[in-house]
Amino acid sequence: MADKDNPTTVADDLVVSIEYTLTVDGEVIDSSEDEGPLDYLHGHSNIIPGLEKELTGMQVGEKKKVKVLPAEGYGELDEDSIMEVPLDEFPEDVPLEPGIELEITDDEGDMMFAEIVEIGKDTVTLDTNHPLAGKTLHFDISIVGLRTASAEEIDHGHVHFGDHDH
């Protein structure tokens, strides 16, 4: 039986360490292989909802393949997030070619990312959807560690690094 200081099952308010590989459309697009395990605070929306739901109840050492549909991942593609912007609104030093990602400011002054989709005669088509919106995500997951989160981590809603004992 696990005690509070040595949890063995993924549950809310625990710091979970996972190794993962993310595959989309048959292509590996992210992995913990190079950076090491990902640590996150379970139950605090630090990761996409569909993945967090599937990890609940897993044990340390357990491996699982998880399929996350767009609605529980990065959302469906939103056609309203594709916009035409007049070409003359772009500074001359901005490289304008399809596939380039730009940081732009919305009408409320918030920063957001946009990908150039197309360059027309007088306009540039930008897509502000998340790059994985509309995509089904396939994860290979392994739970490699669990620890009780500190009161401060729970209060802040995310993992703090370097301020706890292992």
Does an H or E element contain 153, and which?
A: helix 151-156
The three-state secondary structure class of 35 is coil
Read off the pLDDT of residues 65-76 as tens digits, 9 standing for 90 and up. Answer: 999 999 999 999
Contact 44, 56 (CB under 8 A): no
Taking all residues of the chain, what is their mean pLDDT, rounded to a whole number?
Answer: 91
C-alpha span between 32 and 21 (Å, rounded): 7
Environment class of 127 (CB within 10 Å of its CB; exposed 0-12, middle 13-18, buried 19+): buried
Backbone phi, then psi, for 49, in 5-degree steps? -60, -40
Band of pLDDT at residue 4, cut at 50, 70 and 90: low
Domain 14-74+133-156 fold is Chitinase A; domain 3 (3.10.50)
Q: In the chain, where are the structural domains located?
A: 14-74+133-156, 79-127
Other Cβ atoms closer than 10 A to 63: 11
Please tell me the class of the 79-127 domain. mainly beta
1 has a pLDDT exceeding 80: no
Nearest CA-CA partner of 61 in 2, 138, 122, 121: 2
- For tokens 């981590």, the residue is 153
